[in-house]
Amino acid sequence: MKQSQRDIVLEQMQKTGRVTRNWCLQGYISRLSAIIFDLKEEGFHIEAFRNGGDQVYVLVEVTPAEVKEPTHPNEILKLHREEKVEKEQEAAKQPKLV
């Protein structure tokens, strides 16, 4: 099944933490600002800045304390992923019994 441009952009941001206008143009994604607007409307915290001649959008991580009752499915999934990572990190800190 072919991914939507929105899904491609979101996947790139989740993998690398950012996406650039030039990266999107190389993949024939020309409406990046509209996709970013929609993602922000869905509850993703995204910041933008210029890097030379390129526009860079950064996915800002939100700590669970800042999240007040997520309602969008993506917000809920993100919160669950963060909780899982925290649990894995805590488990890794615990001494292993042999």
Q: Give the pLDDT confidence of 72-88 residue by residue, as tens digits.
A: 566 666 766 787 888 88
- CA 64 from chain centre, in angstroms, equals 15
Give the whole-angstrom CA distance, residue 26 versus residue 91: 41
pTM, two decimals, is: 0.60
pLDDT of 12 over the 60 cut:
yes
Give the whole-angstrom CA distance, residue 6 versus residue 29: 9
Which architecture does CATH list for 1-60? Orthogonal Bundle (1.10)
What is the pLDDT of the chain when averaged over all its residues? 81
Report whether 6 contacts 35 (CB < 8 A).
yes
For 11, 68, 90, the CA distances from 93, given in Å and listed in that order, are: 29, 28, 5
Report whether 32 contacts 9 (CB < 8 A).
yes
Split at pLDDT 50, 70, 90, the class of 91 is: confident
Question: Is the alpha carbon torsion for 74, 62, 43, 15 positive or negative?
Answer: negative
pLDDT of 7 over the 60 cut:
yes
The pLDDT score that the predictor gives to residue 90 is 83
pLDDT per position as a tens digit, 43-64: 889 999 998 889 999 998 654 4
**Mean pLDDT to the nearest integer, 10-39:** 92
